[in-house]
Amino acid sequence: MVKRIFVFSSMEFEVAAKNVWETDYRAAWKSYRNRGYKTVPEIVFWNLKANSIASPVVYSSPVDDKHKGLSLMTGFSKSMLCVFFKGDGVLKLEDVKKLALVPEPEDVMKSAISGEEYQNLIVFD
């Protein structure tokens, strides 16, 4: 089974979709279950438009915090593209956290900034 599906867009997701996100997600679950799968692939929604602002709780987002296995990215970033396509296209988070199934958005961020080039930075809070 495919482990991750990328949905690339250059617009906000509520503009691009005809249906309510919840309806589409339930339909995907039902379709996968009918074919004998116990889960759906991880889904990454990536709005490549650089000047948009979104997070998992923004109204225009197709993703909310109760859906595990969903990620929302906004704006193009070569670094983040490399994070997702490291190795064999599988996000490697062993340096961040051992996850049982699917990375959370915070884990993706930690993985992106865990590189050697960031180790000498100091955070003042």
pLDDT at position 2 over 70: yes
Report helix, strand or coil for 6: strand
Distance CA 83, CA 115 (A): 10
Give residue 34's pLDDT: 92
What residues form DSSP beta bridges with 44? 6, 71
For the chain, the structural domain boundaries read 4-117
Closest CA to 63 of 84, 83, 42, 78: 42
Q: pTM of the predicted model, to two decimals?
A: 0.52
Give pLDDT tens digits for 85-101: 665 555 555 533 443 34
Q: Work out the average pLDDT over 31-36.
A: 90
Cβ partners under 8 Å of residue 62, min gap 6:
13, 14, 17, 21, 24, 45, 70, 72
Whether the pLDDT of residue 57 is over 50: the answer is no
pLDDT computed for residue 4 by the predictor: 79
Question: In what helix (H) or strand (E) does residue 30 lie, and over which residues does it extend?
Answer: helix 21-34
